[in-house]
A and B are shown apart, each in its own frame.
Chain A
Amino acid sequence: MYGSEDLELNRRHLMAGASACAVATACPSTAWAAAENKSDPVMSKVSFTVNGMAHEVDIDTRTTLLDAVREHLHLTGAKKGCDHGQCGACTMIVDGRRINSCLTLAVMHHGDAITTIEGLGKPGDLHPMQAAFVKHDGYQCGFCTPGQICSGVAVLDEIKAGIPSHVTVDLTANAVITTDEIRERMSGNICRCGAYSNIIDAMTEVAGRQA
Protein backbone atom coordinates (compact mmCIF):
# COMPACT_ATOMS: atom_id res chain seq x y z
CA MET A 1 0.00 0.00 0.00
CA TYR A 2 1.18 3.49 -0.79
CA GLY A 3 0.42 6.53 1.31
CA SER A 4 -0.59 9.64 -0.59
CA GLU A 5 2.91 11.07 -0.08
CA ASP A 6 4.50 7.99 -1.68
CA LEU A 7 2.12 8.26 -4.58
CA GLU A 8 3.05 11.87 -5.06
CA LEU A 9 6.76 10.99 -4.99
CA ASN A 10 6.27 8.19 -7.44
CA ARG A 11 4.34 10.40 -9.80
CA ARG A 12 7.08 13.02 -9.68
CA HIS A 13 9.79 10.43 -10.30
CA LEU A 14 7.81 9.10 -13.23
CA MET A 15 7.46 12.59 -14.69
CA ALA A 16 11.17 13.29 -14.19
CA GLY A 17 11.97 10.04 -15.96
CA ALA A 18 9.65 10.93 -18.81
CA SER A 19 11.34 14.34 -19.20
CA ALA A 20 14.77 12.69 -19.23
CA CYS A 21 13.63 10.43 -22.07
CA ALA A 22 12.42 13.42 -24.05
CA VAL A 23 15.73 15.19 -23.49
CA ALA A 24 17.70 12.11 -24.53
CA THR A 25 15.74 11.88 -27.78
CA ALA A 26 16.42 15.54 -28.49
CA CYS A 27 20.13 15.23 -27.65
CA PRO A 28 21.66 14.59 -31.09
CA SER A 29 20.09 17.68 -32.66
CA THR A 30 20.89 19.84 -29.62
CA ALA A 31 24.54 18.78 -29.67
CA TRP A 32 24.72 19.44 -33.38
CA ALA A 33 23.22 22.91 -32.94
CA ALA A 34 25.79 23.77 -30.26
CA ALA A 35 28.71 22.51 -32.34
CA GLU A 36 27.57 24.36 -35.45
CA ASN A 37 26.97 27.62 -33.69
CA LYS A 38 30.36 29.28 -33.47
CA SER A 39 29.07 32.81 -32.92
CA ASP A 40 29.12 34.22 -29.40
CA PRO A 41 25.93 34.93 -27.50
CA VAL A 42 24.65 38.49 -27.76
CA MET A 43 23.37 39.92 -24.48
CA SER A 44 20.67 42.54 -24.13
CA LYS A 45 18.91 44.25 -21.22
CA VAL A 46 15.13 44.26 -21.02
CA SER A 47 12.69 45.28 -18.31
CA PHE A 48 9.07 44.30 -17.84
CA THR A 49 6.69 43.56 -15.02
CA VAL A 50 5.66 40.03 -14.21
CA ASN A 51 2.63 39.61 -11.97
CA GLY A 52 2.96 43.24 -10.90
CA MET A 53 6.68 43.02 -9.98
CA ALA A 54 9.21 45.00 -12.03
CA HIS A 55 12.18 43.01 -13.34
CA GLU A 56 15.25 43.88 -15.36
CA VAL A 57 17.20 41.03 -16.91
CA ASP A 58 20.39 40.90 -18.96
CA ILE A 59 19.84 37.99 -21.29
CA ASP A 60 20.93 36.29 -24.50
CA THR A 61 18.81 37.80 -27.30
CA ARG A 62 17.73 34.25 -28.21
CA THR A 63 15.86 33.79 -24.90
CA THR A 64 12.13 33.38 -25.34
CA LEU A 65 9.75 35.06 -22.93
CA LEU A 66 8.95 31.59 -21.58
CA ASP A 67 12.60 30.79 -20.82
CA ALA A 68 13.20 34.24 -19.32
CA VAL A 69 10.29 33.79 -16.90
CA ARG A 70 11.07 30.17 -16.05
CA GLU A 71 14.87 30.13 -15.96
CA HIS A 72 15.75 33.71 -14.99
CA LEU A 73 12.80 34.69 -12.79
CA HIS A 74 12.20 31.12 -11.57
CA LEU A 75 8.46 31.27 -12.12
CA THR A 76 7.95 27.74 -13.35
CA GLY A 77 4.16 27.70 -13.55
CA ALA A 78 4.07 28.25 -17.32
CA LYS A 79 5.27 25.06 -19.00
CA LYS A 80 7.38 24.25 -22.01
CA GLY A 81 5.51 21.58 -23.93
CA CYS A 82 6.27 21.68 -27.65
CA ASP A 83 8.24 24.97 -27.72
CA HIS A 84 6.68 25.63 -31.16
CA GLY A 85 3.32 27.26 -30.38
CA GLN A 86 1.34 24.11 -30.99
CA CYS A 87 0.36 22.98 -27.49
CA GLY A 88 -0.45 26.16 -25.51
CA ALA A 89 1.20 24.98 -22.25
CA CYS A 90 3.29 28.19 -22.23
CA THR A 91 0.29 30.56 -22.52
CA MET A 92 0.76 33.85 -20.65
CA ILE A 93 -1.30 37.02 -20.65
CA VAL A 94 0.73 39.97 -21.96
CA ASP A 95 -0.83 43.44 -21.82
CA GLY A 96 -4.22 41.75 -21.45
CA ARG A 97 -3.82 39.28 -24.33
CA ARG A 98 -2.99 35.60 -24.21
CA ILE A 99 0.02 34.59 -26.29
CA ASN A 100 2.35 31.63 -26.70
CA SER A 101 5.33 32.76 -24.61
CA CYS A 102 7.56 30.20 -26.37
CA LEU A 103 7.15 31.99 -29.72
CA THR A 104 8.22 35.45 -28.66
CA LEU A 105 11.58 36.84 -27.60
CA ALA A 106 11.94 38.31 -24.12
CA VAL A 107 13.73 41.37 -25.59
CA MET A 108 10.58 42.16 -27.57
CA HIS A 109 8.63 42.75 -24.34
CA HIS A 110 10.36 45.84 -22.98
CA GLY A 111 7.86 47.70 -20.78
CA ASP A 112 5.14 45.03 -21.05
CA ALA A 113 2.92 43.80 -18.22
CA ILE A 114 3.01 40.00 -18.08
CA THR A 115 0.69 37.75 -16.10
CA THR A 116 1.49 34.10 -15.50
CA ILE A 117 -0.49 31.47 -13.61
CA GLU A 118 1.32 32.56 -10.42
CA GLY A 119 -0.14 36.04 -10.85
CA LEU A 120 -3.75 34.94 -11.22
CA GLY A 121 -4.06 33.50 -7.73
CA LYS A 122 -2.31 31.45 -5.09
CA PRO A 123 -3.23 28.68 -2.65
CA GLY A 124 -5.83 30.09 -0.29
CA ASP A 125 -6.60 32.94 -2.69
CA LEU A 126 -7.46 31.23 -5.96
CA HIS A 127 -8.67 32.99 -9.08
CA PRO A 128 -12.26 31.90 -9.80
CA MET A 129 -10.98 30.00 -12.87
CA GLN A 130 -8.43 28.13 -10.76
CA ALA A 131 -11.10 27.25 -8.22
CA ALA A 132 -13.46 26.06 -10.96
CA PHE A 133 -10.73 23.84 -12.48
CA VAL A 134 -10.23 22.23 -9.06
CA LYS A 135 -13.97 21.81 -8.51
CA HIS A 136 -14.60 20.27 -11.95
CA ASP A 137 -11.42 18.18 -12.21
CA GLY A 138 -10.26 20.21 -15.21
CA TYR A 139 -6.94 18.34 -15.29
CA GLN A 140 -5.26 15.03 -14.60
CA CYS A 141 -1.48 15.28 -14.80
CA GLY A 142 -1.63 19.08 -14.57
CA PHE A 143 1.10 19.88 -17.08
CA CYS A 144 -1.13 21.82 -19.47
CA THR A 145 -3.22 23.37 -16.68
CA PRO A 146 -1.39 26.70 -16.19
CA GLY A 147 -1.73 27.36 -19.92
CA GLN A 148 -5.35 26.17 -19.96
CA ILE A 149 -6.28 28.47 -17.06
CA CYS A 150 -4.50 31.54 -18.52
CA SER A 151 -6.18 30.84 -21.85
CA GLY A 152 -9.54 30.22 -20.18
CA VAL A 153 -9.44 33.55 -18.35
CA ALA A 154 -8.48 35.38 -21.57
CA VAL A 155 -11.13 33.58 -23.65
CA LEU A 156 -13.95 34.85 -21.44
CA ASP A 157 -12.50 38.36 -21.72
CA GLU A 158 -12.30 38.03 -25.51
CA ILE A 159 -15.96 37.03 -25.73
CA LYS A 160 -16.90 39.90 -23.43
CA ALA A 161 -14.91 42.29 -25.64
CA GLY A 162 -17.01 41.21 -28.63
CA ILE A 163 -14.27 39.37 -30.53
CA PRO A 164 -15.92 36.82 -32.86
CA SER A 165 -14.65 33.29 -33.52
CA HIS A 166 -14.72 30.77 -36.35
CA VAL A 167 -18.00 29.33 -35.00
CA THR A 168 -19.76 32.66 -34.39
CA VAL A 169 -22.78 32.45 -36.69
CA ASP A 170 -23.53 36.16 -37.09
CA LEU A 171 -20.35 38.21 -37.54
CA THR A 172 -22.17 41.47 -36.93
CA ALA A 173 -23.64 40.39 -33.58
CA ASN A 174 -21.76 39.81 -30.34
CA ALA A 175 -20.78 36.22 -29.62
CA VAL A 176 -22.47 34.45 -26.73
CA ILE A 177 -20.78 31.91 -24.47
CA THR A 178 -21.66 28.42 -25.68
CA THR A 179 -19.86 25.09 -25.55
CA ASP A 180 -19.06 25.44 -29.26
CA GLU A 181 -17.53 28.87 -28.70
CA ILE A 182 -15.40 27.64 -25.80
CA ARG A 183 -14.22 24.55 -27.70
CA GLU A 184 -13.23 26.58 -30.76
CA ARG A 185 -11.47 29.30 -28.78
CA MET A 186 -9.56 26.81 -26.61
CA SER A 187 -8.22 24.83 -29.59
CA GLY A 188 -4.71 26.25 -29.06
CA ASN A 189 -4.44 24.42 -25.72
CA ILE A 190 -3.85 20.70 -25.96
CA CYS A 191 -4.55 18.32 -23.05
CA ARG A 192 -3.12 14.83 -23.55
CA CYS A 193 -5.04 13.51 -20.55
CA GLY A 194 -8.24 14.57 -22.27
CA ALA A 195 -9.75 16.74 -19.56
CA TYR A 196 -11.50 18.85 -22.18
CA SER A 197 -15.10 18.31 -21.11
CA ASN A 198 -14.27 19.16 -17.49
CA ILE A 199 -12.38 22.27 -18.63
CA ILE A 200 -15.49 23.37 -20.51
CA ASP A 201 -17.59 22.77 -17.37
CA ALA A 202 -15.17 24.91 -15.34
CA MET A 203 -15.16 27.74 -17.88
CA THR A 204 -18.93 27.63 -18.26
CA GLU A 205 -19.38 27.95 -14.53
CA VAL A 206 -17.02 30.94 -14.31
CA ALA A 207 -18.74 32.56 -17.30
CA GLY A 208 -22.11 32.12 -15.61
CA ARG A 209 -20.84 33.67 -12.43
CA GLN A 210 -19.38 36.58 -14.35
CA ALA A 211 -22.50 37.23 -16.40
Chain B
Amino acid sequence: MKSFTYERATSPAEAAASVMRVPGAKFIAGGTNLLDLMKLQVETPTHLVDVNGLDLDTIEPTEDGGLRIGALVRNTDLAADLRVRRGYGVLSRALLSGASGQLRNKATTAGNLLQRTRCPYFYDTAQPCNKRQPGSGCSAIGGISRQLSVVGASEACIATHPGDMAVAMRVLDANVETVNDKGDTRRIPIAEFHRLPGGTPQIETSLQPGELITAVTLPKPVAGMHVYRKVRDRASYAFALISIAGIVQRDGTGRIAVGGVAPKPWRDEAAEAELPKGAKIATERLFAGAKPTHDNAYKLKLTERALGAVLSEARA
Protein backbone atom coordinates (compact mmCIF):
# COMPACT_ATOMS: atom_id res chain seq x y z
CA MET B 1 0.00 0.00 0.00
CA LYS B 2 1.27 3.50 -0.81
CA SER B 3 1.56 5.77 2.20
CA PHE B 4 -0.98 8.53 2.67
CA THR B 5 -1.86 11.32 5.06
CA TYR B 6 -5.11 11.13 6.98
CA GLU B 7 -7.64 13.53 8.45
CA ARG B 8 -11.05 13.31 10.11
CA ALA B 9 -13.55 15.63 8.46
CA THR B 10 -15.67 17.90 10.63
CA SER B 11 -18.36 18.95 8.12
CA PRO B 12 -19.49 17.76 4.68
CA ALA B 13 -18.40 20.96 2.90
CA GLU B 14 -15.04 20.90 4.68
CA ALA B 15 -14.56 17.28 3.66
CA ALA B 16 -15.24 18.28 0.06
CA ALA B 17 -12.83 21.22 0.37
CA SER B 18 -10.08 18.93 1.70
CA VAL B 19 -10.45 16.53 -1.19
CA MET B 20 -10.37 19.47 -3.64
CA ARG B 21 -7.29 20.97 -1.97
CA VAL B 22 -5.03 17.90 -1.93
CA PRO B 23 -4.23 16.30 -5.32
CA GLY B 24 -4.95 12.56 -5.18
CA ALA B 25 -7.15 12.82 -2.06
CA LYS B 26 -10.16 10.56 -1.53
CA PHE B 27 -13.03 10.25 0.91
CA ILE B 28 -13.16 7.10 3.04
CA ALA B 29 -16.34 5.86 4.74
CA GLY B 30 -16.74 2.09 5.27
CA GLY B 31 -13.56 1.59 3.27
CA THR B 32 -14.21 -2.09 2.53
CA ASN B 33 -13.75 -1.67 -1.23
CA LEU B 34 -11.25 1.21 -1.17
CA LEU B 35 -8.82 -0.52 1.22
CA ASP B 36 -9.05 -3.75 -0.74
CA LEU B 37 -8.01 -1.82 -3.86
CA MET B 38 -5.32 0.16 -2.00
CA LYS B 39 -3.65 -3.05 -0.89
CA LEU B 40 -3.38 -4.05 -4.55
CA GLN B 41 -2.29 -0.52 -5.54
CA VAL B 42 -5.23 -0.27 -7.90
CA GLU B 43 -6.14 2.78 -5.82
CA THR B 44 -3.26 4.95 -4.56
CA PRO B 45 -4.71 7.95 -2.73
CA THR B 46 -2.19 10.43 -1.28
CA HIS B 47 -4.59 11.67 1.40
CA LEU B 48 -7.69 10.13 3.01
CA VAL B 49 -10.52 12.26 4.34
CA ASP B 50 -12.41 10.13 6.86
CA VAL B 51 -16.09 11.14 6.74
CA ASN B 52 -17.28 8.65 9.38
CA GLY B 53 -17.59 11.36 12.04
CA LEU B 54 -20.07 13.39 9.99
CA ASP B 55 -23.66 13.42 11.13
CA LEU B 56 -25.00 11.59 8.08
CA ASP B 57 -26.13 8.30 9.55
CA THR B 58 -29.87 8.66 10.07
CA ILE B 59 -32.95 7.65 8.07
CA GLU B 60 -35.68 10.28 8.16
CA PRO B 61 -39.12 10.67 6.56
CA THR B 62 -39.41 13.30 3.81
CA GLU B 63 -42.30 15.72 3.33
CA ASP B 64 -43.61 13.83 0.29
CA GLY B 65 -43.93 10.54 2.18
CA GLY B 66 -40.57 9.11 1.21
CA LEU B 67 -37.32 8.50 3.08
CA ARG B 68 -34.05 10.38 3.26
CA ILE B 69 -31.19 7.94 3.89
CA GLY B 70 -28.00 9.49 5.24
CA ALA B 71 -24.85 8.73 3.24
CA LEU B 72 -23.28 6.93 6.21
CA VAL B 73 -26.22 4.63 7.03
CA ARG B 74 -24.70 1.16 7.10
CA ASN B 75 -26.08 -1.52 4.78
CA THR B 76 -27.21 -3.62 7.77
CA ASP B 77 -29.13 -0.72 9.31
CA LEU B 78 -30.77 0.24 6.03
CA ALA B 79 -31.86 -3.33 5.31
CA ALA B 80 -33.19 -3.76 8.87
CA ASP B 81 -35.08 -0.46 9.10
CA LEU B 82 -38.77 -1.32 9.55
CA ARG B 83 -39.90 1.48 7.20
CA VAL B 84 -37.62 0.06 4.50
CA ARG B 85 -38.73 -3.53 5.15
CA ARG B 86 -42.41 -2.56 4.94
CA GLY B 87 -42.39 0.03 2.14
CA TYR B 88 -39.27 -0.73 0.11
CA GLY B 89 -38.88 -4.50 0.38
CA VAL B 90 -36.89 -4.62 -2.87
CA LEU B 91 -34.20 -2.49 -1.22
CA SER B 92 -33.95 -4.64 1.92
CA ARG B 93 -33.80 -7.77 -0.22
CA ALA B 94 -31.10 -6.35 -2.49
CA LEU B 95 -28.93 -5.27 0.44
CA LEU B 96 -29.30 -8.60 2.23
CA SER B 97 -28.29 -10.50 -0.90
CA GLY B 98 -25.00 -8.61 -1.09
CA ALA B 99 -21.63 -9.27 0.55
CA SER B 100 -21.36 -10.85 4.03
CA GLY B 101 -22.68 -9.87 7.47
CA GLN B 102 -19.30 -8.38 8.41
CA LEU B 103 -19.13 -6.26 5.25
CA ARG B 104 -22.74 -5.06 5.50
CA ASN B 105 -21.98 -3.84 9.03
CA LYS B 106 -19.29 -1.54 7.64
CA ALA B 107 -20.43 -0.67 4.11
CA THR B 108 -22.31 2.61 3.73
CA THR B 109 -25.12 3.78 1.46
CA ALA B 110 -22.93 6.27 -0.40
CA GLY B 111 -19.92 3.97 -0.55
CA ASN B 112 -22.03 1.19 -1.99
CA LEU B 113 -23.08 3.43 -4.89
CA LEU B 114 -19.40 4.22 -5.55
CA GLN B 115 -17.96 0.70 -5.37
CA ARG B 116 -15.72 -0.22 -8.26
CA THR B 117 -16.16 -3.05 -10.72
CA ARG B 118 -14.90 -6.56 -9.90
CA CYS B 119 -13.64 -7.10 -13.46
CA PRO B 120 -10.58 -9.32 -12.90
CA TYR B 121 -8.47 -7.23 -15.29
CA PHE B 122 -9.22 -4.06 -13.32
CA TYR B 123 -7.81 -5.82 -10.25
CA ASP B 124 -4.71 -7.18 -12.00
CA THR B 125 -2.17 -4.36 -12.23
CA ALA B 126 0.00 -6.45 -14.57
CA GLN B 127 -2.69 -6.25 -17.30
CA PRO B 128 -3.85 -3.34 -19.45
CA CYS B 129 -7.15 -1.81 -18.30
CA ASN B 130 -8.66 1.43 -19.62
CA LYS B 131 -10.54 1.99 -16.38
CA ARG B 132 -7.45 1.68 -14.18
CA GLN B 133 -4.98 3.20 -16.65
CA PRO B 134 -6.76 5.16 -19.39
CA GLY B 135 -5.46 4.40 -22.86
CA SER B 136 -3.74 1.13 -21.92
CA GLY B 137 -6.40 -1.08 -23.56
CA CYS B 138 -9.07 -3.52 -22.42
CA SER B 139 -7.89 -7.02 -21.52
CA ALA B 140 -11.44 -8.23 -20.94
CA ILE B 141 -12.41 -7.87 -24.59
CA GLY B 142 -11.17 -11.14 -26.00
CA GLY B 143 -10.30 -12.28 -22.48
CA ILE B 144 -12.30 -14.00 -19.77
CA SER B 145 -15.62 -12.18 -19.82
CA ARG B 146 -18.12 -14.57 -18.26
CA GLN B 147 -19.02 -12.07 -15.48
CA LEU B 148 -18.96 -8.93 -17.61
CA SER B 149 -21.37 -6.63 -19.45
CA VAL B 150 -23.66 -7.68 -22.27
CA VAL B 151 -25.19 -4.25 -22.83
CA GLY B 152 -24.20 -0.59 -22.37
CA ALA B 153 -20.47 -1.37 -22.67
CA SER B 154 -18.03 0.13 -25.19
CA GLU B 155 -14.94 -0.72 -27.21
CA ALA B 156 -12.94 0.68 -24.28
CA CYS B 157 -14.52 -1.27 -21.39
CA ILE B 158 -16.99 -4.09 -20.71
CA ALA B 159 -16.88 -3.98 -16.90
CA THR B 160 -20.10 -4.32 -14.90
CA HIS B 161 -21.34 -2.31 -11.97
CA PRO B 162 -21.13 -5.02 -9.29
CA GLY B 163 -23.66 -3.77 -6.74
CA ASP B 164 -27.08 -4.97 -5.65
CA MET B 165 -28.28 -1.93 -3.70
CA ALA B 166 -28.00 0.42 -6.69
CA VAL B 167 -30.21 -1.88 -8.78
CA ALA B 168 -32.98 -1.56 -6.19
CA MET B 169 -32.36 2.20 -5.92
CA ARG B 170 -32.80 2.44 -9.71
CA VAL B 171 -36.16 0.67 -9.63
CA LEU B 172 -37.25 2.92 -6.76
CA ASP B 173 -36.31 6.13 -8.67
CA ALA B 174 -33.99 7.29 -5.90
CA ASN B 175 -32.16 10.62 -5.94
CA VAL B 176 -28.59 11.18 -4.81
CA GLU B 177 -27.97 14.35 -2.78
CA THR B 178 -24.52 15.93 -2.76
CA VAL B 179 -22.54 18.90 -1.50
CA ASN B 180 -19.38 20.47 -2.94
CA ASP B 181 -16.50 22.42 -1.44
CA LYS B 182 -18.42 25.70 -1.75
CA GLY B 183 -21.38 24.26 0.16
CA ASP B 184 -23.58 24.05 -2.97
CA THR B 185 -25.98 21.11 -2.91
CA ARG B 186 -27.68 19.26 -5.76
CA ARG B 187 -29.90 16.23 -6.43
CA ILE B 188 -28.92 13.69 -9.07
CA PRO B 189 -31.56 11.20 -10.26
CA ILE B 190 -30.15 7.69 -9.86
CA ALA B 191 -30.70 7.07 -13.60
CA GLU B 192 -28.12 9.79 -14.33
CA PHE B 193 -25.77 8.98 -11.47
CA HIS B 194 -23.83 6.09 -13.02
CA ARG B 195 -22.37 6.75 -16.47
CA LEU B 196 -21.81 4.41 -19.37
CA PRO B 197 -18.10 3.96 -20.18
CA GLY B 198 -17.92 5.25 -23.77
CA GLY B 199 -14.31 6.34 -24.33
CA THR B 200 -13.76 7.32 -20.68
CA PRO B 201 -14.41 4.23 -18.52
CA GLN B 202 -12.37 5.76 -15.68
CA ILE B 203 -15.25 8.23 -15.11
CA GLU B 204 -17.99 6.12 -13.53
CA THR B 205 -20.43 8.65 -12.07
CA SER B 206 -21.69 12.17 -12.70
CA LEU B 207 -20.06 13.42 -9.48
CA GLN B 208 -17.69 16.36 -9.90
CA PRO B 209 -14.21 16.26 -8.30
CA GLY B 210 -14.54 16.72 -4.54
CA GLU B 211 -18.35 16.39 -4.58
CA LEU B 212 -19.55 14.42 -1.54
CA ILE B 213 -22.73 12.33 -1.34
CA THR B 214 -24.74 13.37 1.73
CA ALA B 215 -27.91 11.29 1.30
CA VAL B 216 -30.06 9.17 -0.97
CA THR B 217 -33.78 9.97 -1.06
CA LEU B 218 -36.60 7.61 -1.95
CA PRO B 219 -40.03 8.74 -3.19
CA LYS B 220 -43.06 7.44 -1.30
CA PRO B 221 -43.46 3.65 -1.36
CA VAL B 222 -44.86 1.93 -4.46
CA ALA B 223 -47.31 -0.92 -3.80
CA GLY B 224 -46.92 -4.30 -5.46
CA MET B 225 -44.74 -7.36 -5.03
CA HIS B 226 -41.21 -6.24 -4.14
CA VAL B 227 -38.65 -8.76 -5.29
CA TYR B 228 -34.90 -9.01 -5.71
CA ARG B 229 -33.94 -12.18 -7.54
CA LYS B 230 -30.20 -12.74 -7.70
CA VAL B 231 -28.55 -15.54 -9.66
CA ARG B 232 -24.97 -16.31 -8.65
CA ASP B 233 -22.33 -19.03 -8.59
CA ARG B 234 -22.92 -19.89 -4.93
CA ALA B 235 -25.92 -19.41 -2.66
CA SER B 236 -24.43 -16.69 -0.48
CA TYR B 237 -21.64 -14.11 -0.51
CA ALA B 238 -21.09 -13.87 -4.27
CA PHE B 239 -21.59 -11.18 -6.88
CA ALA B 240 -24.57 -11.42 -9.22
CA LEU B 241 -24.26 -13.10 -12.59
CA ILE B 242 -27.59 -11.38 -13.17
CA SER B 243 -30.11 -9.95 -10.75
CA ILE B 244 -33.61 -8.52 -11.10
CA ALA B 245 -35.00 -5.80 -8.87
CA GLY B 246 -38.73 -5.57 -9.42
CA ILE B 247 -41.96 -4.08 -8.19
CA VAL B 248 -44.56 -6.11 -10.02
CA GLN B 249 -48.38 -6.08 -9.93
CA ARG B 250 -50.71 -9.06 -10.19
CA ASP B 251 -51.69 -8.10 -13.75
CA GLY B 252 -48.05 -8.42 -14.81
CA THR B 253 -47.37 -4.69 -15.10
CA GLY B 254 -44.60 -3.14 -13.08
CA ARG B 255 -41.06 -1.90 -13.12
CA ILE B 256 -37.78 -3.80 -13.22
CA ALA B 257 -34.07 -3.04 -13.22
CA VAL B 258 -31.41 -5.64 -13.98
CA GLY B 259 -28.00 -5.96 -12.30
CA GLY B 260 -24.85 -7.77 -13.38
CA VAL B 261 -25.40 -7.13 -17.10
CA ALA B 262 -24.16 -3.59 -17.69
CA PRO B 263 -21.83 -0.84 -16.40
CA LYS B 264 -24.81 0.55 -14.47
CA PRO B 265 -28.12 -0.80 -13.14
CA TRP B 266 -29.99 -1.52 -16.37
CA ARG B 267 -33.55 -0.26 -16.66
CA ASP B 268 -35.56 0.64 -19.74
CA GLU B 269 -39.03 2.06 -19.23
CA ALA B 270 -40.01 1.02 -22.79
CA ALA B 271 -39.18 -2.59 -21.94
CA GLU B 272 -41.30 -2.34 -18.80
CA ALA B 273 -44.32 -1.50 -20.95
CA GLU B 274 -43.87 -4.95 -22.53
CA LEU B 275 -43.93 -6.82 -19.20
CA PRO B 276 -47.60 -7.93 -19.57
CA LYS B 277 -46.58 -9.66 -22.85
CA GLY B 278 -44.22 -11.88 -20.89
CA ALA B 279 -40.56 -12.28 -20.05
CA LYS B 280 -39.35 -13.15 -23.56
CA ILE B 281 -40.65 -10.02 -25.26
CA ALA B 282 -39.73 -7.73 -22.35
CA THR B 283 -36.19 -9.13 -22.17
CA GLU B 284 -35.68 -8.77 -25.93
CA ARG B 285 -36.65 -5.12 -25.63
CA LEU B 286 -34.48 -4.60 -22.54
CA PHE B 287 -31.45 -6.03 -24.32
CA ALA B 288 -31.99 -4.25 -27.65
CA GLY B 289 -28.50 -3.40 -28.94
CA ALA B 290 -26.80 -5.89 -26.61
CA LYS B 291 -23.37 -7.09 -27.68
CA PRO B 292 -22.61 -10.13 -25.54
CA THR B 293 -19.34 -12.03 -25.82
CA HIS B 294 -19.14 -15.76 -26.41
CA ASP B 295 -18.57 -16.22 -22.66
CA ASN B 296 -21.44 -14.11 -21.36
CA ALA B 297 -24.22 -14.54 -23.93
CA TYR B 298 -25.85 -16.90 -21.41
CA LYS B 299 -26.87 -13.81 -19.41
CA LEU B 300 -29.56 -12.93 -21.96
CA LYS B 301 -31.36 -16.27 -21.53
CA LEU B 302 -30.69 -16.30 -17.78
CA THR B 303 -32.31 -12.87 -17.40
CA GLU B 304 -35.33 -13.95 -19.45
CA ARG B 305 -35.82 -17.04 -17.29
CA ALA B 306 -35.31 -15.20 -14.01
CA LEU B 307 -37.78 -12.54 -15.14
CA GLY B 308 -40.23 -15.29 -16.11
CA ALA B 309 -40.00 -16.64 -12.57
CA VAL B 310 -40.57 -13.16 -11.11
CA LEU B 311 -43.66 -12.61 -13.28
CA SER B 312 -45.12 -16.02 -12.38
CA GLU B 313 -44.57 -15.30 -8.71
CA ALA B 314 -46.38 -11.95 -9.02
CA ARG B 315 -49.38 -13.57 -10.75
CA ALA B 316 -49.65 -16.44 -8.27
Chain A residues at the B interface, C-beta cutoff of 8 Å: 33, 36-37, 39-42, 44, 60-62, 64, 83-85, 88, 91, 97-100, 103-105, 107-108, 110, 151, 154-155, 158, 161-166, 168, 171-172, 183-189
Contact = CB atoms under 8 A, between A and B. Distances in A.
A91 B36 CA distance: 16
Contacts of B102: 85, 88, 91, 98-100, 151, 188
A163 B76 contact: yes
A85 B103 contact: yes
Contacts of A37: 2-3
Contact of B39 (A40, A42, A83, A185): A83
Contacts of A104: 31-32, 35, 106
A188 B237 contact: yes
B96 A164 contact: yes
Question: B35, B50, B80, B82 — which one has the most chain A CB atoms within 10 A of its CB?
Answer: B35
A167 B237 CA distance: 12
Contact of B32 (A103, A107, A110, A185): A103
Given A103-B106, A108-B50, A158 B86 contact: no
Contact of B236 (A40, A41, A61, A184): A184
Contacts of B36: 84-85, 103
29 contacts: A33-B1, A39-B3, A40-B3, A61-B5, A62-B3, A64-B35, A85-B100, A98-B101, A100-B102, A103-B35, A105-B28, A105-B31, A105-B48, A108-B52, A151-B101, A155-B101, A158-B101, A162-B80, A163-B79, A164-B85, A165-B96, A166-B96, A166-B236, A171-B86, A183-B236, A187-B100, A187-B237, A188-B102, A189-B100
A61 B6 contact: yes
B97 interface: yes
A119 to B, nearest CB: 17
B100 A88 contact: yes
B4 A188 contact: no
B89 interface: yes
A171 B93 contact: yes
A188 B31 contact: no
A67 to B, nearest CB: 11
Interface of B: 1-6, 8, 28, 31-32, 35-36, 39, 41, 48, 50, 52, 76, 79-80, 82, 85-86, 89, 92-93, 96-97, 99-103, 105-106, 235-237
Contacts of B99: 188
Contacts of A151: 101-102
Contacts of B32: 85, 100, 103-104
A73 B100 CA distance: 27
Nearest to B5: A42
Given A151-B102, A164-B80, A187-B236, A33 B3 contact: no
A151 to B, nearest CB: 7
Given A98-B105, A171-B89, 9 more contacts: A61-B6, A62-B3, A85-B36, A99-B105, A108-B28, A151-B102, A164-B92, A187-B101, A187-B235
A70 to B, nearest CB: 16
B3 A60 contact: yes
Contacts of A105: 6, 28, 31, 35, 48
A188 B101 contact: yes
A62 B96 contact: no
A161 B92 CA distance: 16
A189 B100 CA distance: 9
B84 to A, nearest CB: 9
A51 to B, nearest CB: 19
Contacts of A171: 85-86, 89, 92-93
A44 B6 contact: yes
A114 B103 CA distance: 16
A99 B85 contact: no
A124 B113 CA distance: 47
Question: B80, B82, B99 — which one has the most chain A CB atoms within 10 A of its CB?
Answer: B80
A148 to B, nearest CB: 12
